[in-house]
Structures are given as C-alpha cells and as structure tokens.
C-alpha cells in the first residue's frame, strides 16, 4: 500500500502544480490574505504581525478541506477513480495520497508566508517554530480529512459546494480567523468552542505570540489527531469509486463521528477551559499599539 500511496502522491502533486485554479487558491490567495491582513489591517504595526500571521496560517491550513473535497468529487464524477478500481490501489492509498499531496503542497505556502512576514512586514520573532510546525502539520491533515468526509457524504459537485460554503463560513467568521475570538458575542463564542477551526487559530496564536510549547497545546493537538484519524477511517469506509454510486443514508451519521473529539473538547473548554483567557491575552498583545496606529 505504501508504494501505491507514494506513487499517487507524486502524481497528484505534479497534477496540482499544473492546475491554475489550485495555484490561485492555494498559493496566491493565502499570500494575498497576508498582504491584506498585515498590510491593511496591521497598518505597519510590527507587533500585530505575529497575531495576523497566525490567522493567515489558520486560513491556509483550513483551506485544505475545500480543495480536497472538490478534487475527490471531481475525480469521482469524471470516472477517473473508477479506472483505479480495477488496479490493486485501495481506498486507503487513494485517500492517504490526497492527504499527503495536500500537505506537501501546503507547506511551501506556509514557508512563504513566514518569509514575507519576516522580510516584508518586519515581524520581530518567529514564535515557537516546533509548535507551529506540528500545528500546521496536524491541522492540514485534520482539515483535509474533513474534506474527505465531505466528499464521501455528498453525491454531486453542487452538494459538495453547498456544504463547503456552510462549513467555510463557520470556520471563517466564528473561529477567530477573521474576527478576533474575544470580540465575538458570548453566544457565538459558546458555539465556536465546538469548532476545530477555533482551536487551530488559538493554538497558532499561542505558538506565535506566547511561544507556547507543543506539550502545552496537548489538548488541541490530541483533538486534531483524533479528528484526523476518525475522519480518515470514516472516509475510507464510505469511499465510493463510481460516479453513480450514492452515499448511503448512514453516511451522514458516520460523518458526524469525525467531530466527536471537538465536541468533547468543546464541553471541556466550556467548563474548565482557558481558551477565552488566552485569546484575550493574545489580542491584547497587539491591541494597544494597534489602537495607537489607528488613532494617528
């Protein structure tokens, strides 16, 4: 299985590099986000750059779920997956190659974002690079796995795009990736603590600003790993090669299993957590100079 996975991974990386839409959404758009965030929202405030970069990194990582679900559904609808079914390639190798190729294609964007933050926007520190690397790795795999789940429960590209829009909207606006978590109304915050995206954003902010070590982000990491594992296993179970094969009714039930780690983390966070406190502290790290900049 490993050799099949690597061969497919290499092939899919090559295909993605030739795809203009992929290059736009996975490279140009995240970098454009960085320029908008750091250049326009940051208004030259160097101290705000780590905070804004962590948001851009989270958006880059979260984008994985959209790209992978669309790609897999396209392959299925065009009958491309079907041809692989008469070969020894199994569903797990196909799905694992999706995750790996996506990961290897996301990493260069992350590195470019770091370089630009450092050399164009004069970011002072680099944060805890180990924590950032682990969060980016687990986040990319985890969100890509959610994409595989979306692909496995939808029957058409139209359905896929509708579900993607809803999920993306939630991730974008109530996770802290665009509007800082402490600014969100408390009722929205109560919902946001159940979203994987919230922990990714918060984890990256803590790693960037507080230089938080990997072990201190254990709960976040464990939830990302749990989500990735469950999502991968469910996606492999529900995998469909044929364009005309429909998702069984039980598929949507299975799919919800992938968010169980974050439901548990959300409950824990609601009663014992310190995400709110950390989010406020990280926002305050930029608030004053940021406000000064704005009032000039």
Partner 1 sequence: MLSAATIEVVNLTKRYGDVEALRGVTFSVGEGEVFGLLGPNGAGKTSTVEILEGLRTPDGGSVSVCGLDPQQKGDEFKFIIGAALQSTALPDKMRVHEALDLFGSFYPRRRGTPELLARFGLEEKKNAFYSQLSGGQKQRLALAMALVNDPRVVFLDEPTAGLDPQVRREIYDIVEELKKEKKTILLTTHYIEEAEKLCDHVAIVDHGKVIALGTPRELKQRSGAVTRITVRMAKPEINGALNTLEGVTECRTEADDYLLYSTRVPRTIVALVKHLEEQNNELVSLEIAAPSLEDIFLELTGRRLRD
Interface residues toward partner 1, by CB under 8 A: 3-4, 7-8, 11, 14-15, 18-19, 75, 78-80, 82-83, 85-89, 241-242
Smallest distance, Å, CB 79 to partner 1?
A: 4
Angle at 65 between CA 63 and CA 187, to 5 degrees: 80
Nearest residue (CB) to partner 1, 21 versus 263:
21
Smallest distance, Å, CB 68 to partner 1?
A: 15
Smallest distance, Å, CB 85 to partner 1?
A: 6
Directed axis angle between helix 260-272 and helix 196-209, to 10°? 60
* 42-to-32, 47, 244 alpha-carbon distances in Å: 14, 9, 49
Sequence-ordered list of residues with C-beta below 8 angstroms from that of 167, at least 6 positions apart, any chain: 65, 146, 150
The upper half-sphere exposure of residue 209, i.e. CA atoms within 13 Å in the direction of its Cβ, equals 26
- Report residue 290 CA to chain centroid gap: 27
Nearest residue (CB) to partner 1, 52 versus 105:
105
Smallest distance, Å, CB 80 to partner 1?
A: 5
Nearest residue (CB) to partner 1, 244 versus 274:
244
How far is Cα 269 from Cα 286, in angstroms, rounded to an integer?
Answer: 24
Nearest residue (CB) to partner 1, 15 versus 213:
15
Nearest residue (CB) to partner 1, 88 versus 185:
88
Within 10 A of 243 (CB to CB), how many other CB atoms are there?
A: 16
Smallest distance, Å, CB 104 to partner 1?
A: 17
Cβ distance 268 to 219 under 8 Å? yes
């Amino acid at each position: 299985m490993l050799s099949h996975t690597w061969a497919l991974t290499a092939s899919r990386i090559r295909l993605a590099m030739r795809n203009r839409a992929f290059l736009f959404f996975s490279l140009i758009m995240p970098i454009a986000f960085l320029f908008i965030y750091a250049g326009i929202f940051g208004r030259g405030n160097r101290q705000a750059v780590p905070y804004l970069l962590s948001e851009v990194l989270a958006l880059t990582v979260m984008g994985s779920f959209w790209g992978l679900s669309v790609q897999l559904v396209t392959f299925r609808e065009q009958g491309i997956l079907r041809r692989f079914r008469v070969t020894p390639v199994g569903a797990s190798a196909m799905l694992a190659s999706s995750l790996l190729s996506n990961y290897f294609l996301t990493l260069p964007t992350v590195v470019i974002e770091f370089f630009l933050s450092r050399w164009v926007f004069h970011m002072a520190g680099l944060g805890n690079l180990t924590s950032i690397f682990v969060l980016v790795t687990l986040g990319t795999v985890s969100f890509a796995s959610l994409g595989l789940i979306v692909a496995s429960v939808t029957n058409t590209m139209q359905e896929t795009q509708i579900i993607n829009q809803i999920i993306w909207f939630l991730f974008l606006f109530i996770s802290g990736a665009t509007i800082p978590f402490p600014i969100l109304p408390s009722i929205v915050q109560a919902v946001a603590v159940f979203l994987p995206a919230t922990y990714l954003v918060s984890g990256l902010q803590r790693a960037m600003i507080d230089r938080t070590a990997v072990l201190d982000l254990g709960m976040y990491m464990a939830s990302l790993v749990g989500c990735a594992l469950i999502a991968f296993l469910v996606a492999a179970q529900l995998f469909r090669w044929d364009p005309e094969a429909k998702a069984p009714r039980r598929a949507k039930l299975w799919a919800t299993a992938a968010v169980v780690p974050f439901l548990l983390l959300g409950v824990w966070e609601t009663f014992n957590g310190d995400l709110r406190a950390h989010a406020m502290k990280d926002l305050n790290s930029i608030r004053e100079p940021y406000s000064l900049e704005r009032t000039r």
